[in-house]
Amino acid sequence: MPPKIRGMVTNLSSSPNHSKRFTLMLSGEDALDLDGAEALSGPPRGLPHEQFLLGNLVPIAPVLLLGQSNQPVNSQEIIACLQPVHLHATRDHLILMGQNQIDLTADESTSLLKTATPFIEEDFKSAILYQGQHYWFIPAGPFASLISHSVDQAHGRNIDWWMPRDSHEVGIAKRWRKLQNEIQMLWHIDPINEAREMRGLPSINSLWISGIGKLADLDAPDVIKTSRILYGSHPLLAGLAKHYKLTHSIQIDFQDLANTFAWLENPAEVWPLLSKALLENQLQEILIIDFPKGKKRERIFTVKDLHPKSWAFWKKSEPLSWKVIAQQ
């Protein structure tokens, strides 16, 4: 086993001055050991990091809309996110594929939405607010009470447990499934899908609804609100940055790390440069936030943690690697 590292536990005695701190958040997965009432009520509302970033009500749709468009977003209007998706059929159930697996182009997205718009707007009783390549937005209207789950949370799983369900108003989920089935039939014969299948790509055979909520319900943590810059490619970060009037960048500027927050696809790639920033006193500490077994954990690393002491005192200790951090 690797030696015990001081940073592997939450360090509550770190410097109160966070001006030279870099915060790195890792994506979290749902806890797999739900039991009792929690298991009976269905999946948790949002992935752990979605709950952390947005609060318990997880208003994903309005935050995504804010980040992707220049139009004002009514903080009290309940917004829904619609996404064209592929449902993969197995012998006895359907599996939702992730957006990064379907290679949907902007032109395909526009064409599919054009076909589906009359049906969507009739049932939602409102016009589409904004259309992006992977996300479409509309006031939730009669579907405002649905409990839903993001594609990030539900992809790769049997959709039976992840389909939208009723909360306090009965029959809304059934109404959504009716609209979903109508659009599935429309797209089944759409030339876009014929062309995709000729190219060996999965068909866009269903519409997914998620992120239902209003901007007024956003409850981001202090680590977001007090950061100068948010780094990362996920569109939620762009929305959070705009809402809290922060700078957002997809690429990290390693000359500007202090008092910043990052959510990265591959943190292992940047760890050597972050370690260097600690050694050169560009940073005083790195805060890593992750979610083992669905629970938030915070660990602080300082320059002293980069070369942990070993019981084999005659050997030079190995630099703290990302592999060691990720395994704890």
- DSSP letter for each residue of 284-297: SEEEEEE-GGG--E
Which residues are 131's β-sheet partners?
136
> In the prediction, which pLDDT does 210 show?
96
pLDDT > 80? residue 318:
no
Nearest-angstrom CA–CA distance, 139 and 128: 8
Across the chain, mean pLDDT equals 88
Q: What is the mean pLDDT of residues 14-29?
A: 80
> In the prediction, which pLDDT does 10 show?
46
Q: Which residue has the tokens 């938030």?
A: 296
Q: In the structure, what pLDDT confidence band is assigned to residue 328 with cuts at 50, 70 and 90?
A: confident
Percent of the chain at pLDDT above 70? 88
Domain boundaries in the chain? 6-28+220-327, 57-217
Segment 116-149, tens digit of pLDDT: 999 999 999 999 999 999 999 999 999 999 999 9
pLDDT > 90? residue 172:
yes
Contact 13, 278 (CB under 8 A): no
pLDDT > 50? residue 162:
yes
Segment 226-285, tens digit of pLDDT: 999 999 999 999 999 999 999 999 999 999 999 999 999 899 999 999 999 999 999 999
> In the prediction, which pLDDT does 309 show?
62
What torsion, rounded to 10 degrees, do the Cα atoms 37, 43, 44, 48 define?
A: 140
> In the prediction, which pLDDT does 11 show?
45
Q: What are the φ and ψ backbone dihedral angles of 43, each rounded to 5 degrees?
A: -65, 155
Q: What is the mean pLDDT of residues 163-187?
A: 95
> In the prediction, which pLDDT does 19 show?
76
pLDDT > 50? residue 107:
yes
Nearest-angstrom CA–CA distance, 198 and 292: 42
The pair of structure tokens assigned to 123 is 């049932």
N- to C-terminal Cα separation, the chain = 10
Contact 146, 138 (CB under 8 A): no
CA 50 to chain centre: 6
3-state secondary structure 256-302: CCCCEEEECCCHHHHHHHHHHHHHCCCCCEEEEEECHHHCCEEEEEC
Q: What is the mean pLDDT of residues 177-186?
A: 96
Segment 33-81, tens digit of pLDDT: 544 444 556 788 899 999 999 999 999 999 999 999 998 999 999 999 9
pTM: 0.88
Nearest-angstrom CA–CA distance, 217 and 8: 33
> In the prediction, which pLDDT does 308 show?
65
Contact 85, 151 (CB under 8 A): yes
Contact 109, 131 (CB under 8 A): yes
CA 311 to chain centre: 40
- DSSP letter for each residue of 63-77: HHHHHH-SS---TTS
